[in-house]
A and B are shown apart, each in its own frame.
Chain A
Amino acid sequence: MPEAIYPTLVQCAIVAGAFKVLLFPAYKSTDFEVHRNWLAITHSLPIQNWYYEDTSEWTLDYPPFFAYFEWLLSQCARWVDPAMLRIDNLNYDSWSTVAFQRSTVILTELVLVYALHRITASSPTKPTTHTAALSILLSPGLLLIDHLHFQYNSLLYGLLLLSLHLAHRPRSLLPSALLFAALLCFKHIYLYLAPAYFVYLLRVYVLHPGSVVRIRLANAVKLGTGLLAVFAAAFGPFAYHGQIPQLLTRLFPFSRGLCHAYWAPNVWAMYSFTDRVLIFVAPYLGLQVDPDAVNSVTRGRVGDTAFAVLPPIHPRTTFLLTLTFMLIPLIKLFAQPTAANFHGALILCGYASFLFGWHVHEKAILLVLIPFSLLALKDRRYLGAFRPLAVAGHVALFPLLFTPHEFPIKVVYTVLWLVLFLFAFDRLAPVSPKGRVFFLDRFSVLYLAVAIPLICYCAVVHELVFGTRLEFLPLMFISSYSALGVVGSWLGFMVVYLAD
C-alpha cells in the first residue's frame, strides 16, 4: 500500500467543508435565485414546458442533464421546504432553502474530491500531484463562485477532471469521451474544450496509430454509438416534442455584447482599456473620436460595447481569432498525440476561448486554471507560466463579490491560497530538463509585486479619492491587470508547450 501523505484530501475536504457551512448566511448572487427557479421549474412542470417557462427572468438556459440534475435535487427539496418549488415564489430565500441549496453544493463537491483522489492515487509522482490536487480542492475560485456567489462548478469540474484522468490511459479512452459528452450536456461552456477532445480521440482512438488515413472501424462505431446514446439521453425527450430549436435559442443567446457585465480579463479588456486611453490621446494623434461611445463603454452593464477610437469588433472576428489560436496547439496534438500533449492542448483551447471569445465571463477562467493546476508542477517552466495566471485569474474574480462583509473572506482566502501553494509549488517543482525562459521569470516576479498596491487601490484608495465617481476605473484596472497576467501566462505556456 502506498504511503499516505498528510494532510489527506479527505482531511482537507472536511476542514474546507466546515468553513463552507459557516459561510451559509453570506452573500449570494442572483445565481442562487436562478437555481431555485430551476428547481421549481423542473419539479412542477412537465418536461416539455421546461425550456418554454418564463415567469422568472432567469429562464432555464443550461443543457438537459443539468435540468435532470435539478429535478433530482428537487425531489429532496420537497422534504425540506416545498415553498421553494413554487415557480411564482420569486426571490424566495427562507433559511431552509438557503441551507438546502448551499448543502447540495457542498455534497456534490464530493465528485471533485473523488476525481482528485483517483488522479492522486494513480500518479507516479505522488507528492507533487497530491499538492496540485489540494490546490484545486481548496481553490479560491471554486470557493468564491460556488459557495458564495452560488454555482455547481465543483461538481462539473469534478466530472471534467475525471474524464481528463481517464483520457490519460488508452484503455479508458471511451469512458473518458462519454463522460465528457455527458459533461457537455450538463453545461455547454465546456464546448470550448471540445476541440482538444475531438482531435485527440480522432487521432488516438478512431484513426490507426500507424497511418492517419486508416480508420479503426470498431472503435469508430463504439464511440459513435456511445456519443449518440449520451446525447439521445439528454436531448431525446426534447427532440421528441420537437423543441430542439427552442432549446438552442435558450442555450446560445447571441444577442449579448462583446464584454460581460464585469470585464473578463481577456484581450478585449485590454482592447477596451486601450480605447479608453486613446480617448485622451486621440486629439494629439489626429484620430477620430466617436462622441457617442465616449460615455457608453460597458460600465458594469450588459449591452453592446461601443469603442470611441478603435474599430468595432464583430463576433466573426472573435470566432476566427479563437479558432486560429486553438489550431496551433491542435496541429501539434495531431502530429504527436500523447496524453501530455492532449492535456496541454486542452489548456490552450481554454486559453484561446477565454482570451478571444465573445461575451466571456470572468468565471470562465476556471476552464484554464483547474486543468493547468495539474500540469503546473511538471517542471519549473510550467510553474513560471502558471504563477501569473494563478494571481490574475483569482484577482479577476474579486469584482464578483463586492459586499464589505465578504471582502476579508475573498482577499484573505486568496492570499492564503497563493502564499501556501505558490510556496509549496516552488519547493516541489522539479528543475526543467531544458533551459528556462529568462523573460518569463522576471515577468512573473514583477507581476506578483504589482498585485498588492493594485488591490489596495481598488479596495480603499479609489473610494477615498473619488468617492462614487469613476466607479468603472477600479474594475477596469483589475481586469486590465489580470488580462496582462493571463495573456503573459498564455504566451509563456504556449512557448513551453510548443518547445516540448
Chain B
Amino acid sequence: MSSLNHNSHKPRRKSRELGSAASHGLLYTDPVTQEKKPLFPLVGFLGPAKVTISKWIIFPIILMVVGLFRWATTFWGYSGHQKPPMFGDFEAQRHWMELTIHLPVSQWYFYDLKWWGLDYPPLTAYHSWVLGKIGSLVNPSFFELDTSRGLESEELKVFMRASVLLSEYAVYIPAAISFMRRFSHSQGVGKWDFLIAVTAVLMQPATILIDHGHFQYNTVMLGFVLASMSGLMADNLLWSCVWFIAALGFKQMALFFAPAIFAYLLGKCVFPKFSFGRLVSIAVTTIVSFAILCFPLLLGSLYNYRRGLPLPTTATGTPPPPLLSDLPFDIPDGSAIYPFVLQLSQAHHRIFPFARGLFEDKVANLWCALHTFHKLHIYPSALLQHVSLALTLLLILPPCIILFLKPQRSSIPLAFATTAWGFFLASYQVHEKNVLLPLLPMTVLLSGSGGLALRLRSWIGFANILAAWTLFPLLNRDGLAVPYVVLTLLWAWLLGLPPVSWHLYLPGRRVVDEPGLHWAEAIIHSAFYIAMVGWHICEAFIAPPYNKPDLWVVLNVLIGAAGFSLCYTWCLGMLMVQSGYWRNPFLSKPKVKFQ
C-alpha cells in the first residue's frame, strides 16, 4: 500500500504519465490539514495502483474482487425461486438448455410453447445448447426432457449460476476492458483513471443484481454490444458489424442500439467522402453474419426435409405463425422452401411478440407513467403500436442524425445512450430490466475525458442509482432486497454519491480548475435522491391505502420515468454540445475538451 502523495516525490516525467489531464482531479486538498485526499473512496482503493502499475497484478485483483461480489450475490434468491407452477427466468433458461439438447433444431421454436417456449434469438439457443451439453456431463438429471421441469437442486443452482459468471467473464469483461481502454486512450485519459473507471463499471449494481441475482444472461448481449462499440473505436467497422449481429442474435433488445450503429456506419461511409466500397463491405458483412447466425436453424430444416421427416408444426402440434399467412405471396406447404420460411417466420414470431401489451408489468417509461393518469388499454393495439413507433422515432432521430453527420468516436457512448434511452422511454414491449441497455453506454463514459470529474460522475451516478432503485420492486419479489441495498450503497459510497456522500452537491470538496455543477442540476438531483430515500421509508413502513394497493410501485414508476427522461435530455444535450451543434453555457464544456 502506498501513500497517494507518493507521486509528488517522483520525477516529473513519471508524474505526467500517471496523472494525465483529468487525473489530478481525483485528489482534493483538505482545507484543515492541507493533506491531499482521494475525492471518493474508490480512488483510495486504487491508490496503490498509482505507483505499482503492473497490469499483471492489478487486473487479476480487480477481476477477482468483482467476481467475488458477483458470486456472493448468487447466494440469494432468483426469479421464480420456489414459485410453482411456472417458476421464472431461472426455469426458462434451464428449460431452453433442456429442449435444445434433446430436440432436433427444427423444433426449438415450436416445442410446447406454453412452458417457457424459446423466445430469444438463435444465439441464445446455441448458447443454451452448449451449456446444456456441459451440464449433462456434470449431472444428466439437470436437463432430462420434460421430467426436469422446475428442478431446483442445489447442484443445479451452482451450475446455472456458474454458467452466468463464466459467460460474463468470457464476453462482457474482455469487451468492457477493451472498449474502455480504447475510449480512454482516444480521450487522453491516464492509466490510473482508466483502472478506476473499469472497477466502477464492473461494480455497477443493476447489472450484477439482474444477472447474478434475478438470473439472466444480459451481460453476454451487453458484452457483444461493447465489443461492437470497441470495434467502432478502433475503426474496425466490419468486426463491429459482426459483434453487433452477435448481440442482436443473442437478445433482440440489442435493437435499442441498432439505429445508432446504423447511423454511425452510414455516416462513416458518406463523410468526409462517399465510399461505395465501404458501404458494400459493411452490407455484405452484416448479411453474411446474419446468414451464419441462422444457418444451423435452416440446416435443421434442410435435414428434416431431406429425410422426409414431418414439419415441426406437425411434430409438435403448434400452429404455423400468423406471419406466414400475412406474407404477400403464398407458399404451398409442400414446396421446397416452405420449411425454411416456416422456421424463420416462427422464430420471428416468437422473438417479436407484438401480441403482447404496450409495456410489461410496471416499467418506468413514458407509457406506463401515462397509463397511471389515462388508461391506455382503451385504444386499439394497432394505434398504440403506431404512436409508440412515432414517438420512439422522434426521440432517437436527433442522436442518430448527429451521429450520421459527424461520425466521431468521442460521440459514440453519448449517442448510443441517448438512442437507447429513447427506446426505453417510448418503445413497445419494454421490461424494467431493459434499463441496463441505456445504462451501459452512459456508465462507460466514466472512462472518458472528465469521466470521473464532478459533472459526468454526478449524472452517471444519478442514472445508475435511479435505475437500481426502479428495479427494486422486481428485486424485492425475488428475495434480493438485501443484496440490492448492499450493492447499491456500496457503489454509491465507492463513487462518492448520495445517499452516502453529498459532496458532489456541496461546496468545499472542490478541485481547483473544475467547473461546478449548475445549481439547478444540484437541486434536481438532490430532489430525486431525497424522493428515492423517502420512497424506501414509506414503502417499508406505510401500507398503501386500501383502494390503491399499487401506490408505491406506481410512484416508483412515475419518479423513475421522470428521472430517465432527464437522463435522455442530458445525454442529448451533452451530445449536441460536444459535437458542436449547440453552444450552451448551462451544459458548459468541461475544461478538458473532448476530442
Contact = CB atoms under 8 A, between A and B. Distances in A.
Nearest to B73: A22
Given A19-B72, A25-B75, A412-B67, A6 B493 contact: no
Given A3-B5, A412-B71, 12 more contacts: A3-B35, A6-B45, A18-B489, A21-B486, A24-B75, A403-B154, A404-B155, A405-B161, A412-B67, A424-B1, A424-B48, A427-B52
Contacts of B35: 1, 3-4
Interface in A4-22: 4-8, 11, 14-15, 18-19, 21-22
Interface stretch (A271-279, A363-371, A413-421): A413-421
A4 B35 CA distance: 9
A5 B64 contact: no
Interface string B65-106: 101110111111000000000000000000000000000000
Interface residues of A, number: 36
A130 B69 contact: no
Interface string B149-181: 000001101100110000000000000000000
B584 interface: no
B483 interface: yes
A22 B69 contact: yes
Interface in A293-331: none
A413 B44 CA distance: 21
A134 B1 contact: yes
20 contacts: A1-B35, A5-B2, A6-B45, A7-B47, A11-B41, A14-B490, A18-B486, A18-B490, A19-B68, A19-B69, A19-B72, A22-B486, A23-B75, A26-B72, A127-B1, A130-B1, A404-B158, A405-B157, A419-B60, A419-B64
Interface string B43-68: 11101100010000100110011011
A374 to B, nearest CB: 15
Interface in A408-441: 408-409, 412-413, 415-416, 419-420, 423-424, 427
Interface of B: 1-5, 33, 35, 37-38, 41, 43-45, 47-48, 52, 57, 60-61, 64-65, 67-69, 71-76, 154-155, 157-158, 161-162, 482-483, 486-487, 489-490, 493-494
Nearest to B76: A25
A98 to B, nearest CB: 11
Nearest to B38: A6
B68 A127 contact: no
Contacts of B72: 19, 22-23, 26, 409
A390 to B, nearest CB: 17
A266 interface: no
Nearest to B33: A1
Nearest to B5: A3
A130 B44 CA distance: 14
A131 interface: yes
Contacts of A413: 68
A415 B483 contact: no
Contact of B61 (A5, A404, A419): A419
A14 B158 contact: no
Contact of B64 (A11, A21, A24, A416): A416
A468 to B, nearest CB: 15
A234 B72 CA distance: 39
B75 A7 contact: no
B193 to A, nearest CB: 16
A22 B75 contact: yes
A20 B2 CA distance: 26
A420 B59 CA distance: 11
A6 B60 contact: no
A423 B60 CA distance: 13
A413 B71 CA distance: 11
> Which label, helix, strand, loop or mixed, suits the secondary structure of the B interface?
helix
A416 to B, nearest CB: 4
Contacts of A24: 75, 482
A408 B75 CA distance: 12
Contacts of A15: 45, 490, 494
Contacts of A130: 1
B491 to A, nearest CB: 10
Contacts of B67: 408, 412
A259 B482 CA distance: 40
Nearest to A413: B68
A398 to B, nearest CB: 16
Contacts of A416: 61, 64-65, 68
Contacts of A409: 68, 71-72
Interface centre among B3, B33, B60, B487 (most CB of A within 10 A): B3
Nearest to B64: A416
A130 to B, nearest CB: 6
A8 B1 CA distance: 10
Contact of A7 (B37, B45, B73, B489): B45
A429 to B, nearest CB: 13
A424 B72 CA distance: 26
A6 B3 contact: yes
A392 to B, nearest CB: 21
A126 to B, nearest CB: 9
A408 B1 contact: no
Contacts of B73: 22
Given A1-B33, A21-B482, A127-B3, A420 B61 contact: yes
A403 B41 CA distance: 34
Contacts of B64: 412, 415-416, 419
A32 B25 CA distance: 47
Nearest to A1: B33
Contact of B75 (A1, A11, A14, A26): A26
Contacts of B489: 18
Nearest to A423: B57
B154 A405 contact: yes
Which interface residue of A3, A4, A26 has the most chain B CB atoms within 10 A?
A4
A5 B65 CA distance: 21
A465 to B, nearest CB: 16
Contacts of B60: 419
B389 to A, nearest CB: 42
A22 B45 CA distance: 20
Contacts of B52: 427
B386 to A, nearest CB: 46
B486 to A, nearest CB: 5
Contacts of A3: 3, 5, 35
Contacts of A19: 68-69, 72
Nearest to B43: A6
A23 B73 CA distance: 8
A415 B61 CA distance: 9
A25 B479 CA distance: 11
A282 B375 CA distance: 88
B483 A127 contact: no
Contacts of A412: 64, 67-68, 71
B68 A6 contact: no
A11 B68 CA distance: 18
Contacts of A23: 72, 75
A19 B483 CA distance: 10
Interface string A14-45: 11001101111110000000000000000000
A403 B3 CA distance: 40
Contacts of B3: 3-6, 127
A403 B155 CA distance: 9
Nearest to A6: B44
B7 to A, nearest CB: 12
A18 B493 CA distance: 11
